[in-house]
Amino acid sequence: MTVLVTGCRGRVGSALLELLHGAGIKTRAASKNPADLSPPDGVDTVRCDLSDPTHFEAALDGVDSVFLYAEASHIDAFVSQARAAGVRHVALLSSSSVLAPDAAQNPIAASHLAVERALATAAADGAFEATHLQPGAFATNALQWAWAITASRPVELPYPGSHGDPIHEKDVAEAAFAVLTEPRLRGSSYLLTGPESLDFTAQLAILAEVTGQAATPAAVTPEQWKKSVADYLPETFADALLSYWASHDGRPVPLTRTVEELTGHPARTFAEWAGDHADAFRP
């Protein structure tokens, strides 16, 4: 069995690579820039830019299973090459945003949904099995606050009371490991959440307690927040985030036990994540 892991520079992909290699499973580490990777000894690297289909044939040659990031631009070409290469299973890192009624019109959800649909069609045609992992809010989103916290500045938030279900990237990687290595788990969609519904103010309080650094929220208007992120976040994405946060302002989000069901242990808390990343919030 050979597993191609795409996006190995990402936190989930790199953690999954370590798990597969540690279990003695032949693994191929893929990235747009493979020279930047530092995989475990004995793990081959391959160039695989999911926005460039000329990479797909070499990356998929001899591969049985794929851990795939949701890049929609050339998903039909990827599916076609996976079929030709004899791939038997694709595990997709999707998003819980695909479950929203307006997912097809939401710029954040649309690419994930397009990839899910392409894989589902291929699976229905018997090309390979497809498994969809649908995490909610990644705990690593809190890293965007690190610059303010390390500079002893307040964290500006348009909806400080908006809830999320922050999930540790290690839990997502372990869920992916489970579906890639246990055939009975293939072919389903799994909604993954952290163990707690926490608003942004609560998350900042946990960061302050764990790191010993002040982490103070400061409410700003949606317009002020959009202006502050305009240099790096497209307006359509900013509007989608604001809409989501507004809809969850003061409203806890539903939680699942899917991480525990797949991995055999409860999902890690946000406090555990904060402890693992404490140095990022310290000067």
Domain boundaries, the chain: 2-135, 140-165+195-251+269-281
226: its two tokens: 């959009």
* pTM recorded for the entire structure: 0.96
Nearest Cα to Cα of residue 65 among 187, 164, 150, 155: 187
Mean pLDDT of 124-139: 97
Which string of b and e fits 53-78 if b means at least 16 CB within 10 Å? bebbeebbeebbbbbbbbbbebbeeb
State the pLDDT at residue 163.
98
pLDDT band at 19 (very low <50, low <70, confident <90, very high): very high
Residue 233 burial (CB < 10 Å; 0-12/13-18/19+)?
Answer: middle
Asked if residues 60 and 4 have their Cβ atoms less than 8 Å apart, the reply is: yes
pLDDT in tens, 220-266: 999 999 999 999 999 999 999 999 999 999 999 999 999 999 999 99
In CATH terms, are 2-135 and 140-165+195-251+269-281 the same topology? Answer: no
Is the backbone of residue 187 left (phi > 0), alpha (psi -120 to 50) or beta? Answer: left
Long-range contacts of 11-17 (CB under 8 A, 24+ apart): 11/140, 11/169, 12/93, 12/169, 12/172, 12/173, 12/176, 13/67, 13/69, 13/173, 15/169, 15/170, 15/173, 16/67, 16/173, 16/176, 16/177, 16/180, 17/43
Nearest Cα to Cα of residue 201 among 260, 170, 159: 159
State the pLDDT at residue 17.
96
Please state, rounded to an integer, the average pLDDT across all residues of the chain.
96
State the pLDDT at residue 219.
97
CATH topology for the 2-135 domain = Rossmann fold (3.40.50)
162: its two tokens: 């908006």
DSSP β-ladder status, 65-69 and 2-5: parallel
CATH topology for the 140-165+195-251+269-281 domain = UDP-galactose 4-epimerase; domain 1 (3.90.25)
State the pLDDT at residue 208.
98
pLDDT band at 161 (very low <50, low <70, confident <90, very high): very high
d(CA 270, CA 108): 23
